[in-house]
Amino acid sequence: MIESASSGGAQALPLALYVHTPWCVSKCPYCDFNSHAADAPPFEPYVTRLLADLDLELDRPGARRPLSSVFIGGGTPSLFPGSAIRRLLDGVRERADLLPEVEITLEANPGTRDAACFEDYRESGVNRLSIGVQSLSAARLRALGRIHGPEDVRDTLRMARAAGFDNLNLDMMFALPGQDLAGARQDLARLIALEPEHVSYYQLTLEPNTAFHAHPPRLPDPDLAADMAEQGLEDLAHAGYRQYEVSAHAQDGARCRHNLNYWEFGDYLGIGAGAHGKLTREDSARVDRQVSRTAKRRHPVAYLSASPDDLLSSTRILNEQDLIFEFALNALRLTEGFPRDLFTQTTGLPWSRIANIVRGAVDDGMLRILADRVEPTSPGYRFLDDLVARFATRA
């Protein structure tokens, strides 16, 4: 986690690396991620381009900091052979310093698991797997268009444990087509029985530009979905998983460092098709800091065919209002809220910029201040969108 503001300027902020792999076996009907079905992705040319992309990222002012985490997401990164992931991570280590305790996560689909690949991933430096289970009901998996079944999930975990992975996240959704309250509880109980160190438990939503949005399935009504969420929180807590973010639950010591860096408004480099990045640097021409957001060319063909110095699709310098809103949008997702000095440390803005907003939210019972921390109350967390919206208008 980010230390106090007294530890320094922008160079004291942690820096993470996100690597996007855009291919999957088939596109799930609920998925709005930048993913593309492909029979034979160009693995090696893509790794070559990723490393060239990283070279450019590391030349940006403020980017020469040790990496606290690396996250290989997708798409389906577990489509990549072990040799490609090894070459990628060897290239990262050649170009950047990694903290001794660096967390390196790779997302895996139970429908693409391979024991030899898992062993190669582990030997290449991957020390955390995030596995997209989504459900352990065969009927619910079919409704979601997934390419795996419940037994594939169990086989995947056996392979992962045999390869030496002792830090596993399992994703599961609730409020699925045809699901009732008892079914949601049974599904989660099956997941807990697999004993992952971390669980991401979140509600299925119909996102624009997805097959489900165009042809909506029949989903549980909002009241039933809310009951499922509350039931899930209780069952996860009873099993020893502590909720620390809207959908994140972890055993002791197993919080995802990479995602915590996002939520604490830390910096990260993004490489790969459609990857986003956020970078803070001191600017001698400005009193405060300059925070920029970047995005890479989204389609893998465009990303691979562009000249190496033309991979960016957009870059944007955040203004004061952007900084305030984006800080709140991330930091208030955390159940424990944030230290007061984190706001100034990450945005470069004085606390006075949000003092009135925070005071109003405290008066309305949405926030509370405990010593040097600001955290959402139960109503504030329940109506988080409304709470965050307060920070979208100028104080």
Q: Which domains does the chain have, with CATH numbers?
A: 5-260 (3.20.20.70), 335-395 (no CATH)
pLDDT tens for the chain, residues 1 to 395: 443 333 445 557 889 999 999 999 999 999 989 999 998 999 999 999 999 999 999 999 999 999 999 999 999 999 999 999 999 999 999 999 999 999 999 999 998 767 789 999 999 999 999 999 999 999 999 999 999 999 999 999 999 999 999 999 999 999 999 999 999 999 999 999 999 999 999 999 999 999 999 999 999 999 999 999 999 999 999 999 999 999 999 999 999 999 999 999 999 999 999 999 999 997 645 455 799 999 999 999 999 999 989 999 999 999 999 999 999 999 999 999 999 999 999 999 999 999 999 999 999 999 999 989 999 999 999 999 999 999 997 65
What per-residue string of b and e applies to 206-235 under the rule 16 or more CB within 10 Å gives b?
A: beeebebeeeeeebbeeebbebbbebbeeb
Give the pLDDT confidence score for residue 93 in this predicted structure. 98
Q: Which amino acid is at 341?
A: D
Q: Output the pTM of the full model.
A: 0.94
Instruction: Spell out the residues 6+ positions from residue 268 whose beta carbon is closer than 8 angstroms to its own.
Output: 15, 16, 17, 18, 261, 262, 277, 278, 279
CA distance 65 to 62: 7
Give the pLDDT confidence score for residue 2 in this predicted structure. 46
CA distance 301 to 42: 10
Alpha helices in 125-199 (DSSP H): 138-143, 150-162, 181-193
Give the pLDDT confidence score for residue 289 in this predicted structure. 77
Contact 249, 199 (CB under 8 A): yes
Q: Which two tokens stand for residue 44?
A: 């090696």
Please report, to the nearest 10 degrees, the dihedral formed by the alpha carbons of residues 150, 246, 229, 78 taken in order. -10
Contact 149, 135 (CB under 8 A): no
